[in-house]
A and B are shown apart, each in its own frame.
Chain A
Amino acid sequence: MDAGDFKLAFPKLARRLGDRDAGVLITLMREREVPAGATLMEDRALASSVFLVVDGEFRVEAPQGDDVSEIGRAGPGHWIGEIPLFCDEHISSSRVAAMVPSRVLELPHAQFWSARMNHPELVSVLTRELVDHMSERVRTLDQLITRLVQQRESQPGPA
């Protein structure tokens, strides 16, 4: 992806970064095609990259035993894998699979952390972008949890 395509795909992020850091970020990320049905991130697996969705759609699932429930969707402009980036153990806490043929930009954790030395402003903008994304997600999951708890409480108990 070149700078022009990046600006078109992610205008807000490109504006926040500015031309120079947007150019640097493009060199740190690699483009990846994800076929429909393929798993981008496995639950409870070691994760080494964070992803920015270019196009397509992903389903975020919380598997528990044989049950799998959907806890979110991620489309163009969404980030995937930010929890293991910031958690010390770097373990994913959900499964993420492509629903349709999709494309992502992959940023290895190592590139993110090493950019702190040479490009601190870039890492600052990315961190703020990820913080905004996580805040939104905390609110969404909060509502989902409340709904599920209320549903559970309204179910008749065992006879």
Chain B
Amino acid sequence: MLLKNFLKSQSIFTDLSDRDLDALAQSLEIREYADRHTIIEEGRAGRELYLLLEGQVKVAQYNAETGLLEPINLVQPGELFGLLALTDHLPTSACCISAGPVKVGVLQHNAYTLLSQSSAPIALGFQLAIGKQLASVLRHQEEILKNTSHCV
């Protein structure tokens, strides 16, 4: 499937025009990772934004008491990850590890900065996509809290 068609079929990119999708597709570097590859390490500076194209990626955090990695989420195709550290410039809050072979589109830091800070039309569509992704993460977190807090 053409990358542009994949982007077009994802709900977070509905605010990007055909031309914008072409430009975004051209700026993504395609990479493939084998099973259990650590794509993002917890506690590092954010350097790249990832769009999952195929497979699943496990998001996990180190438990401060046990030192063990605990899964907190599973990224699905069409979702962005590595976003938070690029947005707020704080260290990455979790590890992202491939759960099986995966294919990702990678947007470099400078391209992300250009798109996230500019007011050009393509940038607005991209910023709205970031907003949609973060809203989806927050909704997921609030659901976890509903299910967790009443058990404590």
Contact = CB atoms under 8 A, between A and B. Distances in A.
B149 interface: yes
B1 interface: no
Contacts of A118: none
A106 interface: no
Contacts of A146: 61
Interface stretch (B22-30, B32-40, B95-103, B124-132): B124-132
A64 B142 contact: no
B9 interface: no
Contact of B149 (A69, A87, A134): A69
Given A124-B123, A134-B134, A62 B139 contact: no
Interface in B4-19: 11, 15
B69 interface: no
B143 A131 contact: no
A149 B121 CA distance: 42
Given A121-B119, A150-B63, A65 B150 contact: yes
A71 B70 CA distance: 22
Contact of A67 (B63, B65, B150): B150
A132 B84 CA distance: 9
B124 A85 contact: no
B143 A138 contact: no
A64 B146 contact: yes
B88 A132 contact: yes
B86 to A, nearest CB: 9
B110 interface: no
A23 interface: no
Contacts of A63: 146
A87 B137 CA distance: 10
A62 B146 CA distance: 6
Interface string B131-152: 1101111110111111111111
Nearest to B88: A135
B88 A71 contact: no
Closest 8 CB pairs of A and B: A86-B135, A69-B149, A67-B150, A134-B134, A141-B141, A64-B146, A135-B87, A93-B142
Given A71-B142, A127-B128, 7 more contacts: A69-B145, A82-B131, A123-B124, A124-B127, A142-B93, A148-B145, A149-B70
27 contacts: A62-B142, A62-B149, A64-B147, A64-B149, A65-B150, A69-B145, A82-B131, A83-B135, A83-B138, A86-B128, A87-B132, A87-B139, A93-B143, A120-B124, A121-B119, A125-B119, A127-B130, A127-B131, A128-B127, A137-B138, A139-B84, A139-B90, A141-B142, A145-B144, A148-B149, A150-B65, A152-B148
